[in-house]
Amino acid sequence: MANACPPAQLQNRRDPPLLQRVRNEEGLLNLPTTKKQRDKHKTVGNAVILNCYICRKYLKKDGSTDYRTTQFWFAKCRMPLCNKDRRGEGGGRPMSCVQEHTCTDDEDLACNDICTPNKKFPRALQVSLWPRRSGRGKSGNNWVV
């Protein structure tokens, strides 16, 4: 990558956190309980989740978009991001989602004032980290020339 990002540093306890839990329109962290949850005597519903925006950049092995759910968003712009460090996953990701969001020059991935959580990721920016394999060297293939 052309843009060199500084390595992840420990955050000072006085600094505000980079990630916050996702909240719904009413400001709640959890959804209302379902009938099944109430029947099991649960008092808290499922967590509010969104799909990580940076994870949509990296394609799965079959070439489809990778939708990974997360309970966190970036505190400043509210872009949904993974709290889990996914470096090395999926063919070798170079940075975590938080690092990529804070260190990139790309307008679609960078931290802006406001992010729409369900925004579609641009297909032109998606990359596959999986090496392309050729089937020509395998026996049993009848290639017509």
Read out DSSP for 11-69? PPTTSPPSEEE---TTS-SBPPPPHHHHHTT--S-PBP-EE-TGGGGBB-TTS-B---E
**pLDDT value of position 143:** 47
Cβ-based neighbour number of residue 137 at 10 Å: 7
**pLDDT value of position 29:** 93
**pLDDT value of position 30:** 93
**pLDDT value of position 124:** 81
**pLDDT value of position 103:** 87
**pLDDT value of position 4:** 52
**pLDDT value of position 129:** 79
**pLDDT value of position 134:** 59
pTM as predicted = 0.73
Contact 111, 119 (CB under 8 A): no
Domain ranges for the chain: 16-125
Task: Give me the average pLDDT of each 10-residue run along the chain (145 residues).
Answer: 50 70 91 94 92 88 87 90 81 82 84 73 81 59 48
